[in-house]
A and B are shown apart, each in its own frame.
Chain A
Amino acid sequence: MPKIIKNGQVVDDNWQVWRDAETLPSTDHVIVPLALWQQQRDALLALGEIAVYLASDESPKSLSDDDLSALSFVAVDFPKFMDGRGFSYARELREQRQYQGEIRAVGDFIRDQLFYMKRCGFSSYALPSDELEAALASLNDFSESYQPGVDQPLPLFRRRQA
C-alpha cells in the first residue's frame, strides 16, 4: 500500500488523487477536484468517503462550512513546489475557518518544505519520495520560530524570556 506522512509518522494510505473534473470515480477514498465536487456533490457522497483538493488558484473561500463538514478531509495541490499559494490556503482553513480536520499536501513538493507546511496547518503529506522515514526529520528542522503559526499561535515576542 502507498505510504504517506501523517501526524508525524509514516503510515499506509489508500486515498487516491482523482484529477478528472468531468467524470465520477467508481469508488470512494478519492481526492477530487473542487469543480467536480461542486457539480456532483451528492453523487460523490453516495460513493462513500470523499476529499477535495484545492488547485493552487482555488482559495478555500470556495468551500462552504457545509462542504468542510461533509468532506473526509481537504487536500491542497502543489502543481510545482515553487508555487507557495497553498501555504496561505492551509493557514486560512485553520485560522479563519477553524477547520479541525486533516489538511493534506499533494502534488509536487519537497521534504525541505515540510517544516513550513506543518507550521501552516498541514497534517498529512503525500510526499513524492521513497525516503519518507528520512524526510520525517525535516518536520523538525527548527525547534523555535519567531512568528505565530498554526502549531504555535503565540509569536516568540509573546513567549520570550530574558
Chain B
Amino acid sequence: MYAYDQYDRQIISQRVAQYRDQTERYLAGKITEEQFLPLRLQNGLYVQRLAPMLRIAVPYGTLNSQQLRKLAFITREYDKGYAHISTRQNVQLNWPKLEEVPDILEHLAEVEMHSIQTSGNCIRNVTADQFSGVAADEVEDARPWCEIIRQWSTFHPEFAFLPRKFKIAVCGSEQDRAAVLVHDIGLQIVKDESGNTAFKVIVGGGLGRTPVIGSVIHEALPPRHLLSYLEAIVRVYNQLGRRDNKFKARIKILVRAMGADAFKAKVEEEWAFIKDGNLDLPDEEIARAQSFFTRPDYEALENEDLQALALENVDFARWLNHNVHAHKQRGYAIATLSLKTTGVAPGDITAEQFEAVADLAEEFGFGEIRSTHQQNLVLPDIQQRQLFALWQKLVSLELASPTVGTMNDIICCPGGDFCSLANAKSIPIAEAIQRRFDDLDYLYDLGDIELNISGCMNACGHHHIGNIGILGVDKKGQEFYQVSLGGQQGLNASLGKILGPSFAQDEIPDVVEKILNCYLEKRHPEERFIDTYERIGLAPFKERVYA
C-alpha cells in the first residue's frame, strides 16, 4: 500500500490548515454561501436533507487496519457510530457538523487520509478494481497507476473549476470490475504484441440523466505518456465543455456533440505541446509507484480442498461459493464481506464492525482491506485453510450474508432518507426486496443478477447498469418507481431499457417477482438473466408485468 513521505504529509497538513481557515472565514461571514459551496464540495462536504454529509476519499478502494480504526473513532466521536461505503469506494459520514469537519480532517491526516476532491467540479478520487493485485484474472496491478494519477490530479491548479465533475477509473484485469466504460475517462490496462503494458483510453462514458457508454480514443497508450495524455484530455474538456447548462456539462455530452474522432483530434493537437515534456513518466517513477504494491509475504501453500468442510456445513458452503473469489497466489483466497445484511441500509457499516474488520485483516491477512463499488468490503489475502475460521467470525459480526453477486447484493443510493435531491426513497425498496426474496436457494437458483436502485436520475445507485434497475421518480408529488431491464456493467456494459409506466412503492416486490418468474420460465439451462433478456428482449417481461 502507498505510504506517504514528507511531501505528501506536508501537502495534506497544509490542506487541513487551508480548509480550517476557509471554514472559519465562512462562519465569520467573510465568504458567501455561494463562494463557500465549491470550497466545501472540493472537500467532500455536501449539505444534505438532515445534516451535512462528508465523503472521505479511499483512493482506489485501498485501506489498512489503522485507517479503519480511525474511521471507527471518527464515526463515534463526530457522527452516530456508523458510516456508509459509496459506489465509488469512498466512505461517507451522514451526520458530521460543518464546524467540526476541520478536526475530522486532522484526525484523518494522522492516518494518511483526507477528503480532497471527493466532490465538486474537479477530478475526483480515482477508482479501481477492488481485487487489484490479487485477482486471478489480472493483467497488471492497477494501483500503482492509480497512485500516479492521484498525485497528478490532487490540487491540479488548472482543473479545479471544470464544467462538471470528472471521474477516472482504472481496470487491470480481463473482467472489468471498475466500470471503465461509464466513467469520464476509463483506462483499461492491456498488453501490446511484445507484452508491454499500455492503456486503452476510453472517454465520455457516464450515467446520470444521460447515460452513455464511453468511446475508445486510444487503443494502446504507452505508460510514459499517461499523464500528458490525461492532461490533454482534461484541458480540451475544460475549454470546450458546456458551461451554460449543468445537465449538459459532462464530457460525455462534449464527446457526443463533437464525435469521438474529432474529440480525439483535438486532444492529440493539445497533446503535441506537452508530449515528451516534464509530465513524461520516467521508468524510475513508475518503479517507485510499483514498489509500494509488491506482493506481501505469502507463505508457500497448496490449494486446500474445502469440500469436506463444506459438506458438513451448508452455511459455510454457501458463503464459500458466493463470497470467496479466486486469488493469484496458490493457497490463498479473496473474501468479500457483505454489507448487505437485510434490515441494514446497503453499504452501511458500524464503528464496531470497522474495528472488528481491522482486527480480522491483521489476524488473517496483511492488515489490508478494500472497499468495492458494490458497497462491500474485501479482505484480499486470506489463507484458504483459514477461511472457515474467518467465516465463523464474520457470521457473528453480521458480515457474512452469503449473497455476494446475487440479486440481494443490491447497489443502492442513500435516496430520500438522506438526500435532498431524491425523488423517492431507495433504502426501504432495497429492504422490501431483500425480505421478499429471502430464500437463499431461490436466490442461488436465479444466479447472477444485479439489482441497482437510485432515488433520482442522478444515478448514484447505477440503476442504468443493473440487470434490473429501479429509479425513483416523482409522479404528481408521489414517490414512484420506474423499472428498467437489461443493463449490465463490465466490458460488455449496456444500459437498461425502461419497462413501462412506473409503480408505487408497495408494488415493487411483486413487480420484481413477476420479472423473475418470466425469466425462470423462459431461460435455457444455465442461462443467466441478462442472457435470457438479450435473447428474448423486453416484450415478454413487459407482458407479464403489466398483464
**A residues in contact (CB < 8 Å) with B:** 56, 59, 81-85, 87-88, 91, 95-96, 110, 112-113, 115-117, 119-120, 131, 141-149, 153-158, 160, 162
Contact = CB atoms under 8 A, between A and B. Distances in A.
Contact of B238 (A84, A146, A148, A155): A84
Interface in B260-284: 273-274, 277-279, 281-282
Contacts of B281: 157
25 contacts: A81-B161, A83-B161, A87-B158, A87-B161, A88-B239, A91-B158, A110-B31, A112-B31, A112-B35, A115-B157, A120-B157, A142-B15, A142-B155, A143-B14, A144-B7, A145-B11, A145-B157, A147-B279, A153-B278, A156-B151, A157-B151, A157-B288, A158-B285, A160-B7, A162-B5
B80 interface: no
A85 B235 CA distance: 9
A84 B5 contact: no
Contacts of A155: 152, 227, 278-279
B411 to A, nearest CB: 31
Given A82-B161, A87-B157, A155-B227, 6 more contacts: A88-B239, A113-B160, A116-B160, A142-B11, A145-B157, A157-B282
B353 interface: no
A21 B227 CA distance: 40
Given A81-B35, A88-B235, A155-B279, A160 B158 contact: no
Contacts of A95: 273-274
B443 to A, nearest CB: 46
B25 to A, nearest CB: 9
- Which of A82, A116, A149 has the most B CB atoms < 10 Å from its CB? A82
Contact of A84 (B152, B162, B227, B279): B162
Nearest to A149: B157
Contacts of B15: 142
Chain A binding surface SS class: loop
B160 A84 contact: yes
Interface of B: 5, 7, 10-11, 14-15, 18, 22, 30-31, 35, 38-39, 121, 148, 151-152, 154-162, 227, 235, 238-239, 243, 273-274, 277-279, 281-282, 285, 288
A62 B238 CA distance: 17
Nearest to B241: A85
Contacts of A115: 157
Contacts of A157: 148, 151, 281-282, 285, 288
A131 B162 CA distance: 27
Contacts, number: 102
A82 B243 CA distance: 10
Contacts of A119: 157-158
Contacts of B158: 84, 87-88, 91, 116, 119-120
Contacts of B10: 143-144
| CB-based closest 4 A-B pairs | A84-B161, A119-B157, A116-B157, A146-B151
Contact of A147 (B5, B14, B35, B152): B152
A147 B18 CA distance: 19
A147 B238 contact: no
Contact of B157 (A59, A144, A147): A147
A145 B14 CA distance: 11
B323 to A, nearest CB: 37
B162 A145 contact: no
A87 B162 CA distance: 10
- Which of A84, A110, A142 has the most B CB atoms < 10 Å from its CB? A84
Contacts of A131: 30
A113 B18 CA distance: 12
- Which of B22, B158, B274, B279 has the most A CB atoms < 10 Å from its CB? B158
Given A119-B157, A146-B155, A82 B278 contact: no
A110 B157 contact: no
B239 A96 contact: no
A145 B155 contact: yes
Nearest to B15: A142
A74 to B, nearest CB: 16
Nearest to A150: B157
Contacts of B159: 84, 87
Nearest to B161: A84
A153 to B, nearest CB: 6
- Which of B10, B30, B278, B285 has the most A CB atoms < 10 Å from its CB? B278
Given A147-B157, A148-B278, A112 B273 contact: no
A24 to B, nearest CB: 30
Contact of A82 (B18, B121, B151, B277): B121
Contacts of A116: 155, 157-158, 160
Nearest to A159: B7
A116 B161 CA distance: 10
A147 B157 CA distance: 8
A91 B239 CA distance: 12
A82 B156 contact: no
A85 B14 contact: no
Given A88-B239, A116-B158, A82 B11 contact: no
B273 A148 contact: no
A116 B238 CA distance: 15
